[in-house]
Structure 1
Amino acid sequence: MKDENLYNYVLQHADNCLILGQRLGEWCGHGPILEQDIAMTNISLDLIGQARMWYQYAAEIQGEGKTEDDIAYLRDAWGYRNVLLAEQPNGDFAQTIFRQFLYDTYSCYFYEALMNSSDERLAAISAKSHKEALYHIKWSSDWVIRLGDGTEESHDRMNAAVEELWSYAGELTKPNETEVKALEEGYGVDLSALKERRDAKIKEIMTEATLEVPESTYTHEGGKDGRHSEHLGYILADLQFLQRAYPGLEW
């Protein structure tokens, strides 16, 4: 392998996009209204498109002749490096919105910063992905505000979503060993600087949505290092079934 740390760094972001994209894809045909059904499906496709770019680069770094499909479909759960937030269940519409909001407030600033990476491929992937991330954060922010500052029921559901997911928010900006080394070598993102911007954005939107930002700083972690909740196994059972049952199958 050319660079194991770079491979792991790329894999983290590929897996975030794939698993969250798969989760959002579960809403296809089940959205509360047609327009938002289509919006969530399109965001899912954006994320899976981003995952493809990451996996293609990961396959090149690995240098074993594997394809993006091999990496996505032929690893077991402990080989995945996505944050725990991405694999959490959809719940109701409010929970899906808040999960997406927590991810978007990270990804938008992450891609913006990574465009300055010393690695030209990372910078190129980020430049393309950032354009999509700008739409994603606008969409999820608007819905947090509409639901939080809407009816009594929508406000209560958003509060419930905050209580359910807040403890998963911090893993995105808490660097692991891979991210520390990536920053030291000049191709990674400074997550401490990103965290400041993200926290400010979260507070701005939640205040407008008449939602309280929890004081707790506790965060579940381990996803970046392959320690996952039971939910990931069920996602992979659906995602990987065809390639596991019929290896090498092509349309």
Structure 2
Amino acid sequence: MSGENIFTGLTEEHGGDARWAFGTGFTEALAGVDTTLPEGVDGADLAAYCQMLGDDALIQSQRLIHWVTDAPELEEEVALANIALDLLGQARLLLARAGQADGTGRDEDAFAYRRPAAEFRNVCLTEIPRGDFARCVTTLLVLSTWRLALFTRLADSRDPVLAAIAAKGVNELAYHREYAVSWALRLGDGTPYSNERMREAVADVWPRTGELFATHPVEAALADRGAGVDPASVREEVRGVLDQVLTTATLPAPGDFPEAGVAGRDGRHTGELAPLLEELQRVAREHPEATW
């Protein structure tokens, strides 16, 4: 890397475009990608499915950003911010695909900034208050393990866009899980106090996990057509990974996931989502014609 400073050096590595660092180096999220719908796949179903996965990533990203300037150490602040950016990138691609699949032509900004809480399709676990660092670690551990299992299977989707997004996301999600596992082990097998906090976090998060494995009709339809993944199919894999991590961290494994419905997938959310969206959407709603 050359240049007068690290920023100019990075700019040179990205074709001299200084905008890359702010995520504005391209204007269309899916430019150059074949977006033809696979034969037999309903565009409305595919759009709804992309919204589900995209909203999961977008809302979790926004919640993780709350740790910026407030993490236990600077290194963890940077790590959590980077994980949030990975998820934001996944959300951008998935929501852009949703706008193409449903024929509306809406871009990712329209989905992110122009919908009320009742139109979001994320699972409720992504929107719960961040809590302490132990709960952040536990939530990230559960969600990254679950999402990694889904994306690993989605890499074989008949939809070429979903397959490409998933293939890229697998590497990101593997890091997210690795990061969460390292902290779960460090805190669980650390001091009596850190172990206690992790036990409390697991007890708080676990009752909210059932929704991750509840199958929405849209998910079932796309799974039947080879374009999506039935979340129930990853239940045992996810439980096996989490049981192993918790046992190694000297934390009690709570057992099977609770049974639950598809509340978030149908727009039924906790009271925490509306204020989170107010924060996320405020500038875009106050300045609807602004460009950046």
TM range (shorter): over 0.9
* 8 Å CA contact retained: 1:242, 1:249: no
Unpaired runs of 5+ residues, structure 1, are none
Letter in 2 for 1:67: D
1:112 corresponds to: 152
State which of 116, 123, 140 in structure 2 corresponds to 1:76: 116
1:236 aligned onto 2:277:
yes
Percent identity over the alignment is 37
State which of 44, 47, 62 in structure 2 corresponds to 1:22: 62
Name the CA distance, whole Å, in 2 between partners of 1:33 and 1:50. Answer: 26
TM-score by length of 1: 0.96
Name the CA distance, whole Å, in 2 between partners of 1:170 and 1:120. Answer: 30
From the two aligned structures, give the one with the greater helix fraction: 1
SS in 1 for 2:115: coil
* 8 Å CA contact retained: 2:214, 2:260: no
Letter in 2 for 1:156: E
1:223 aligned onto 2:264:
yes
1:103 aligned onto 2:116:
no
- Measured after TM superposition, the shift of residue 170 of structure 1 is 2.0
Bigger RCO (CA 8 Å, 6+ sep): 1
Name the CA distance, whole Å, in 1 between partners of 2:63 and 2:231. Answer: 25
* 8 Å CA contact retained: 1:84, 1:220: no
State which of 81, 92, 113 in structure 2 corresponds to 1:52: 92
TM-score by length of 2: 0.83
Aligned pairs (5 A) from 1:30-179: 30-179=70-219
* 8 Å CA contact retained: 1:167, 1:219: no
1:245 corresponds to: 286
Q: Which has the higher Rg, Structure 1 or Structure 2?
A: 2
Residue deviations 1:166-207 (CA, integer Å, cap 9, x gap)? 111121122111111111121111433311111100000000
* 8 Å CA contact retained: 1:167, 1:220: no
Aligned residues: 251
Letter in 1 for 2:218: T
Name the CA distance, whole Å, in 2 between partners of 1:102 and 1:5. Answer: 26
- Measured after TM superposition, the shift of residue 249 of structure 1 is 1.8
